[in-house]
Amino acid sequence: MRERILETALRLCRTFGIKSITMQDIARECGMSKKTVYEHFADKTELINEVVAFMTNTYCQQLTSCSAAGGNAIEELALSIKYTEHLAKSTNPVLLFELEKYHPTAWKKILEFREQHVTGIIRANLERGIREGLYRSTLHTDILVHMRLLQLNALFNPLLYPAAEFDLHEVVEQMTAHYIHGIATAEGQRVVEQYFPEKVTA
């Protein structure tokens, strides 16, 4: 029941943002009474904190799955990019702004997740690619991890890439081209062509 409420709340918040969603809306979508929702969560703030934890855990699990499914570092990167693009497309940009402005505890969880988990996944992919001979051994991984995190954060910031001016898929393609061709070895460049569209590898 608790997970059902969290999944429903996350879907509504990603679609409409947080401020416009009420506990009654969540209860209605779950097909239960508002009283039942309050039996699991004391108030909306507690629910939002749990929703963010649920969201970051799900994202982490997906990225870990991408790592396991990827036959090499570049395939892993391709899978993670595809999932991240889907997440960015399906998330109302106002969600992160409202978290930062109205829910500091939840926002802190987002920042901690980025710094602790996402950076770790980026670093592991770089180190894997270097071991496999697909990424250049001269890379300064600390710099690359920070740069890549900035790129990923930018996807969720409509002030940097307004939807009226930029197509998200095109932004992802260009970011990917800039990143992957900058780190790949000659062998890596050949492998890139197997996983990314011709437009990106041109």
**φ, ψ (nearest 5 deg) of residue 167:** -90, 125
Q: Can you give the residue ranges of every domain in the chain?
A: 48-201
SS (H, E, C) 89-100: HCCCCHHHHHHH
- For 44-92, the pLDDT digits (tens) are 999 999 999 999 999 889 989 999 999 999 999 999 999 988 888 888 8
Q: pTM here? A: 0.86
| The one-letter amino acid at 143 | I
pLDDT attached to residue 29: 96
- For 6-49, the pLDDT digits (tens) are 999 999 999 999 999 999 999 999 999 999 999 999 999 999 99
CB atoms within 10 A of CB 165: 7
Distance CA 21, CA 79 (A): 32
Residue with tokens 């710099």: 143
Q: Which CATH code for domain 48-201?
A: 1.10.357.10
Distance CA 135, CA 138 (A): 9
Distance CA 102, CA 145 (A): 29
pLDDT of 201 over the 50 cut:
no
